[in-house]
Structure 1
Amino acid sequence: MGQGVVISDSLVQDYCCVRSQSEWLVRSLSPEDMMVQSCPEASPAKWHLAHTTWFFETFLLREASPDYRPFHPDFLWLFNSYYNAVSDQPEKKLRAVFSRPSLAEILAYRRHVDDAMAGLLHRGLPPEMEQRVVLGLHHEQQHQELLLTDIKHAFWTNPLRPAYLDLPFEQPLSPSENLDWRQYEGGVLEIGHRGSTFCFDNELPRHPVYLQPFQLASRPVSCGEYLAFMNDGGYERPELWLSEGWQTVQSHGWRSPLYWYREEGTEEWQIFTLRGSFPFSVLEHTAVCHVSYFEADAYARWSGRRLPTEAEWEVAAAEKPVCGNLLEQNLLHPAGVSGQMFGDVWEWTVSAYLGYPGFHALPGALGEYNGKFMANQMVLRGGSCVTPQTHIRASYRNFFPTATRWQFSGIRLAS
């Protein structure tokens, strides 16, 4: 590996903060809550705690610490997500059947790895391995967001629909600002990560793109605006939908965003959130979320607009500060939509998730992190109300299949 270098105190502090944040997020969950896997796309909270620990054990301790002794020999494959170059792994949809190891054993696993990582960090690491530590922290922040989206879906499927955070919203949340259109001249511009700070491999290389002049909405679409689409027959008009989208709507019986429902015998919509269920009137002015790419595209067609490309989105966000309703605000739901480009909802773009010109995945097993998913996915930008603030940036590329709705995904229009 070469001569080790002294690790900065800030990296040690970042490691401790990110690792403790994950355990703080599950503080209100029971062991039974942490076993639930309510759909094949989700994972149990207990698995998130174990897998993020597996990452540091597999890619740091096993490679850079010769005297390290693994916590359990079977954890190498048991908590592997999709790294085929490392080992086989259990089928994802079966993660909820792992009643053993127990939650206590998973927490002991985290302490075991954290103790070993503390020793490794204080001994010093070469730059390549230090970057793996940073990658592991951002990986864990991704799973913090996934943990919250997964527990929301788990509580939604529970007949009691319990609240993750039993605190009311202000009644109602702040009203939306008027929707304005921001003008951009276009031309030959650059996108992709710049500078020496951390980024994922899929944000590179920085490269030129040509954009026609365009307009971007000053804020995301609100729940009230989306309801107008629904009331105008949006889910019954096939001319608004892509062919596969219309088939998906029909096969799944979609008539509203995920987590919208009406009690029997009532007309007002209710919206389920991580804080429990609330009348539509409380959340009318917040950004609509939990819509698929198909729904976002259909709404854009209905409105006479379109979704932005990811290059347009990044150009518009490039000079904006990373602030807004992110995880640290602890609202856990989109706020009253405003002019921020970050937070509230991940915003669907019309861009397919592909490698940039000249893209090269990381070498070895870590090359499976992003590159092998570059098919049948669309790019989302901007982060959400459950994205850690230190995890998001203008060049960040999230990606999901077109029918995904359990993520905090919403709509910003372009023209």
Structure 2
Amino acid sequence: MTPSPAPATPNEALTLFERTRSRTDALAAPLTPEDMMLQSMEDASPAKWHLAHTTWFFEEFILKPRLPGYQSPDDRFAFLFNSYYTQAGPRHARDKRGLVSRPGGQAVRDYRAHIEDSLARLLSAARDDADDIAGLVELGCHHEMQHQELLVTDLLHGLSFNPLLPTYKDPEPLAVTEEVPLSFTRHAGGLAEIGHSGSGFAYDCESPRHQTFLHPFEIADRPVTNRDWIAFIQDGGYDDPRHWFMEGHAVAQRDGWEHPLYWWKQDDEWWTYTLRGPQPVALDAPVVHVSYYEADAYARWAGARLPTEAEHEIAFKDTPIGGNLMGDAKNTGALRPLPGPGVWGDVWEWTASDFAPYPGFRPPEGALGEYNGKFMVNQRVLRGGSCATPREQMRATYRTFFYPHQRWQMLGLRLARDVT
């Protein structure tokens, strides 16, 4: 992972830093100390750890090597709050993060304040490497934005085990909507260019920009909805192995999948658990919390397929970034999918593409080079952002990735078809 080709100025980086940290604080503000400790599975992390790890990132990669005389408030934090950067040193076991009750919440907030003061001092100094530091700060802010998304989705998973089904945000009913007919837009295919180039922030895995050949295809104008998914359930889609990869069907049978994560039937109506508590499933909102295996099975059942990431990028590269994404610190957004035909926000959309390096990709040297390159195996690319993705993160080239069995993130799908 590298800073953008045209990094922010020190003043711009400081403004972005303050805005990003403020949003994280706002996301954590409603949480009790007990909420901050929840770790419901190895894939998820406690909210307190997210706050500390994003702080460690700035300390480890900017303050320690760049600010003369810098002293950490506690050298043991380097072990506790490293995630997977092997070149940065040893780290606490990932599946034991929820057992770290000390340092407490106030100590973590003090740690954040210490780093924020130190970084502001560094950015205010006249230095020959000021632009390089600004670029690293920009990188750290985008890293923290990713953890803002993880913070709320990890929290949702943890709270879902509470029989009281507590709310994180105030309940708010969705407006009654009418079904949006499924339609497709045709694309001619041919030689196309994808990937990031030019100014503006991007992760290293979005480059180099390169050519790829696309056969003619059609892509749906809206994501698959809950209404669509219920038809799949009612037609026995979960039980019919004809639609499934063998491995996916085995996982579904082993884990008892019969519907998306967080759904249940109550008085013959589908309900779901959300960050706003339990609510009836909104029929015309995009389906969410489905794995790649489920998404691919649904697409086959529907007589379609999942788009490749190149098809997705080409189809929507000129669509302005908007829609149901996470907002600013004062209004973090709906934090649940909303009915509508948009492409940005609501749910990340599974693609048929492996998370693999683009032609010519080379990870940077050092620990920061571990950010993306080491994960380019056995994972699938998703595009489009979700209701938990900060708006500042989004661009048409943005690639996120998850393992095909994972469901706890805001994961959905959009259909594509070959043109013959």
SS state of the match for residue 34, structure 1? helix
Identity %: 47
CA distance in 1, matches of 2:9, 2:65: 17
Partner of 2:54: 52
> Deviation at 1:165?
0.4
1:215 and 2:218 equivalent?
A: yes
1:235 and 2:235 equivalent?
A: no
1:333 and 2:336 equivalent?
A: yes
CA distance in 2, matches of 1:278, 1:136: 36
SS state of the match for residue 347, structure 1? strand
Aligned runs of 1:348-359 on 2, under 5 Å?
348-359=350-361
Partner of 1:94: 96
CA distance in 2, matches of 1:261, 1:238: 23
| Contact 1:347–1:382 (CA under 8 A) maintained in structure 2 | yes
> Deviation at 1:176?
4.3
| Contact 1:176–1:337 (CA under 8 A) maintained in structure 2 | no
| Contact 2:243–2:301 (CA under 8 A) maintained in structure 1 | yes
SS state of the match for residue 193, structure 1? coil
State which drifts further: 325-334 or 251-260.
325-334
SS state of the match for residue 160, structure 2? helix
Q: Given the alignment, which residue of 151, 165, 168 partners 2:155? A: 151
Aligned runs of 1:11-410 on 2, under 5 Å?
11-124=13-126, 125-172=129-176, 174-263=177-266, 266-280=267-281, 283-328=282-327, 330-338=333-341, 340-410=342-412
SS state of the match for residue 262, structure 1? strand
Which residue identity is paired with 1:67? Answer: G
State which drifts further: 219-228 or 6-15.
6-15
| Contact 1:6–1:123 (CA under 8 A) maintained in structure 2 | no
Say if 1:7 and 1:189 are closer, same or farther in 2 by CA, change over 3 A.
closer
| Contact 2:11–2:123 (CA under 8 A) maintained in structure 1 | no
> Deviation at 1:6?
10
Which residue identity is paired with 1:198? Answer: F
CA distance in 2, matches of 1:127, 1:118: 14
Say if 1:341 and 1:398 are closer, same or farther in 2 by CA, change over 3 A.
same
> Deviation at 1:180?
1.3
Which residue identity is paired with 2:337? Answer: P
Partner of 2:4: none
Listed as ranges, the gaps of 5+ residues in structure 1 are none
State which drifts further: 199-208 or 161-170.
161-170
CA distance in 2, matches of 1:310, 1:42: 26
CA distance in 2, matches of 1:97, 1:382: 34
SS state of the match for residue 208, structure 1? strand
Which structure ranks higher in relative contact order (CA pairs < 8 Å, sequence separation ≥ 6)?
A: 2
Which residue identity is paired with 1:410? Answer: G
SS state of the match for residue 86, structure 2? coil
| Contact 1:175–1:336 (CA under 8 A) maintained in structure 2 | no
| Contact 1:222–1:337 (CA under 8 A) maintained in structure 2 | no
> Deviation at 1:27?
0.9
> Deviation at 1:175?
3.5
CA distance in 1, matches of 2:206, 2:159: 34
Q: Deviations 1:142-177 (Å, cap 9, x if unpaired)?
A: 0000001001111111111101102312343x4443
When the two structures are superposed, what TM-score results if normalisation uses the length of structure 1? 0.96
- State the superposition RMSD in angstroms: 1.3
Q: Deviations 1:163-221 (Å, cap 9, x if unpaired)?
A: 1102312343x444322111111110000002111100000000000001110000100
Which residue identity is paired with 1:144? Answer: Q
Q: Deviations 1:218-240 (Å, cap 9, x if unpaired)?
A: 01000010000000000110111
Listed as ranges, the gaps of 5+ residues in structure 2 are 1-6
Say if 1:212 and 1:106 are closer, same or farther in 2 by CA, change over 3 A.
same
> Deviation at 1:92?
0.7
| Contact 1:380–1:399 (CA under 8 A) maintained in structure 2 | yes
CA distance in 2, matches of 1:80, 1:261: 37
| Contact 2:8–2:134 (CA under 8 A) maintained in structure 1 | no
SS state of the match for residue 327, structure 1? coil
| Contact 1:192–1:204 (CA under 8 A) maintained in structure 2 | yes
CA distance in 1, matches of 2:133, 2:170: 41
Aligned residue pairs: how many? 405
> Deviation at 1:271?
1.0
CA distance in 1, matches of 2:208, 2:131: 20
Say if 1:188 and 1:6 are closer, same or farther in 2 by CA, change over 3 A.
closer
CA distance in 2, matches of 1:369, 1:175: 43
| Contact 1:6–1:122 (CA under 8 A) maintained in structure 2 | no
SS state of the match for residue 320, structure 2? coil
SS state of the match for residue 93, structure 1? helix
CA distance in 2, matches of 1:129, 1:12: 11
Q: Deviations 1:264-284 (Å, cap 9, x if unpaired)?
A: xx321111111111123xx11
CA distance in 2, matches of 1:6, 1:184: 36
Which residue identity is paired with 2:260? Answer: P
